[in-house]
Structure 1
Amino acid sequence: MELTLHDYWRSSSAFRVRIALNLKGADYRGVEVDLLANEQLAEGYAAVNAQKLVPALEVDGQVITQSLAIIDWLDGAFPVPRLIPEDPLERARTIALAQIIIADTQPLQNLRVLKYLRAQFGADDAAVDQWAQHWIGEGLAALEAQAPEEGYFGGTAPNIVDVVLVPQIMNARRYKLDLAPFPCLTRIDEAMHALDAVAQAKPETLRPA
C-alpha cells in the first residue's frame, strides 16, 4: 500500500493526521503544500483536493480529504491501535468530543479565516489574537468539562480526542491563551508529547529552527 500525505508543517489539521499515522506505524511519504506561498491554490493541487486545503491522503492513487475521514480510514486499514471505538455509542461519544476541536474550534482560527479577518475587516494583530483566544478558550472549556482526571480520553492509550487535542493546545500557546483553567487537558497534552509518535510529527521536527 502506497500512502502519500499532502501536508504543511504548521497546519494543525495535518499535524493530527501525522500523529495518527505514526501511532499506527504506517509508512507514508510526505509532500509539502506551502500554504503561505499559496501552493494549495495551484491547479495541480486543486486536482488532488477540490477544497484546496491540507491534509489530503493518497492511498494507492485514491484521495481521502478531511482529517476525521482520514483517521477513520486509518482505523480500518491499520486496526491497532484503535483510535475510534467500535461500539456504536462509544464511537458517537468519542467523535462528538473530537468534533469540538475539529469542527467548532480549529476552523475559526485557521490561516484562511484569519487572513479574511485581516483583509475584509481590517483586523490587526491584537484583534486577531483576541479572536483566536476567544474561540480556542470556548472549545477547550467544553472539552475540559468532559476530560478524564487520569489517563487519556482513550483510557490507558490515546484515542482520536487525544490526537486532535495536541495541535489545538499548540495553537492555544501560539496565541498566548492562559491554559491554567484546563489542567486535565494540559496533563494529557504533556503525556502525548512524551510519545515518539507525537515527537516525530511535531512542526519543529519537520522544520527545525
Structure 2
Amino acid sequence: MLKLYDYWRSSAAYRVRIGLNLKGLAYESVPVNIAPGKDEQFGASFRAKNAQMRVPALETEHGVLAQSLAILDWLNTTYPEPPFLPADPWAAAQARAFALAIAADIHPLNNLSVLTRLKLEFSVEDDHVNEWYRHWIRLGFAALEAQAAARPETAYAFGGAPSIADICLVPQMANARRYDTDLSPFPRLVAWDERARGHPAFAKAAPENQKDAVR
C-alpha cells in the first residue's frame, strides 16, 4: 500500500491527498508534525525517508518520492484514469501553468518555513506576516483570475472535470481564507473552489478531515 507522509495543514500534502482520492487509491497516512516547536520533519527517522525534510513524501514500491507536483505527475502516469490533465495539449499546458503559478510562485513565498523565519529570525510582527501572506495571494490570484476571465466559463478550472489546476487551487484558497484574504475580486476562482470542494475526493482530503487535525 502507498504510504503518505503528511501534515493536515500542509497545502502541498493536501494536493497529494486530493490526487490520491481522485485516482481512488488506498493509502496509509503517516502524520509528520511540521508545526513550529514540533519540527518532526527534521528528526532522523523522517530525514532517512526524505532528505529534503518536507512533506509530502510518498512511499511506493519503488522508493520514496518527494515534491507534490512530482508525486502528482507520477500518480497520473502510473494510474491514468481519471486524468489530471485535459486531453488537448494546449489546454493541458495551460492547466500545468495554472498549477505552477500556485505551487512555484505563490506557495513558496508563503510556506510555513518562510513565515516562521520572518517571525523568529527577523522579529516581524504577526500582523505584518499576515499581510505579507495576503499580498502574495492577491498578486497571484489577480493574474489567475484575469486569465480565467479570458476563457469560456467551465465547471472546473479547465473543463467539466477536476484537473491539476483545481488540485492546486483548492488548498491555496483554503490558506487564503485562513489568513482572512478578501476573495471578492476573484469570482471565477471562488466558483471553481466551491464546486471542487463539493467533490467527494476533495472533501475527503480537506484538512479538517485528517486524523492529525487539531480541532
Shorter-chain TM-score tier: over 0.9
User: Could you tell me which residue of structure 1 aligns to residue 16 of structure 2?
Assistant: 17
Whether the 8 Å contact between 2:18 and 2:167 is mirrored in structure 1 is yes
Q: Deviations for 1:139-163, whole angstroms, at most 9, x for unmatched residues?
A: 1111111225332123000100011
User: Could you tell me which residue of structure 2 aligns to residue 205 of structure 1?
Assistant: 209
Percent sequence identity over aligned pairs: 50
Q: Deviations for 1:179-202, whole angstroms, at most 9, x for unmatched residues?
A: 000000000010011111111111
Gaps of 5+ in 1: none
Superposition map of 1:149-160 within 5 A: 149-160=153-164
Secondary structure in 2 aligned to 1:165? Answer: helix
Q: TM-score with structure 1 length normalisation?
A: 0.95
Give, in whole Å, the separation in 1 of the partners of 2:59 and 2:33: 18
Give, in whole Å, the separation in 2 of the partners of 1:142 and 1:21: 28
Whether the 8 Å contact between 2:4 and 2:59 is mirrored in structure 1 is yes
Superposition map of 1:94-109 within 5 A: 94-109=95-110
Give, in whole Å, the separation in 2 of the partners of 1:156 and 1:192: 11
User: Could you tell me which residue of structure 2 aligns to residue 131 of structure 1?
Assistant: 132
User: Could you tell me which residue of structure 1 aligns to residue 91 of structure 2?
Assistant: 90
User: Which residue identity does 2:194 align to in structure 1?
Assistant: E
Give, in whole Å, the separation in 1 of the partners of 2:96 and 2:25: 22
Whether the 8 Å contact between 2:83 and 2:163 is mirrored in structure 1 is yes
Secondary structure in 2 aligned to 1:15? Answer: helix
Q: Deviations for 1:16-49, whole angstroms, at most 9, x for unmatched residues?
A: 1101100110111110000021100001111111
Whether the 8 Å contact between 2:85 and 2:163 is mirrored in structure 1 is yes
User: Which residue identity does 2:199 align to in structure 1?
Assistant: L
User: Could you tell me which residue of structure 1 aligns to residue 170 of structure 2?
Assistant: 166
Give, in whole Å, the separation in 1 of the partners of 2:95 and 2:202: 20
User: Could you tell me which residue of structure 1 aligns to residue 45 of structure 2?
Assistant: 44
Q: Deviations for 1:66-118, whole angstroms, at most 9, x for unmatched residues?
A: 11000011111111110024654433322111101000001111110001101
Superposition map of 1:23-38 within 5 A: 23-36=22-35, 37-38=38-39
Give, in whole Å, the separation in 2 of the partners of 1:19 and 1:178: 25
Whether the 8 Å contact between 1:7 and 1:14 is mirrored in structure 2 is yes
User: Which residue identity does 1:53 align to in structure 2?
Assistant: R
Give, in whole Å, the separation in 2 of the partners of 1:23 and 1:187: 20
Give, in whole Å, the separation in 1 of the partners of 2:120 and 2:25: 40
| In the alignment, structure 1 residue 121 sits paired with structure 2 residue 116 | no
CA RMSD of aligned residues (A): 1.4
Gaps of 5+ in 2: none
User: Which residue identity does 2:92 align to in structure 1?
Assistant: R
| In the alignment, structure 1 residue 194 sits paired with structure 2 residue 198 | yes
Whether the 8 Å contact between 1:72 and 1:84 is mirrored in structure 2 is no
The range that moved more, 30-39 or 85-94, is: 85-94
Q: Deviations for 1:117-137, whole angstroms, at most 9, x for unmatched residues?
A: 012221111010110000011
User: Which residue identity does 1:153 align to in structure 2?
Assistant: A
Whether the 8 Å contact between 1:4 and 1:57 is mirrored in structure 2 is yes
Secondary structure in 2 aligned to 1:112? Answer: helix
User: CA shift at 1:52, angstroms?
Assistant: 0.4
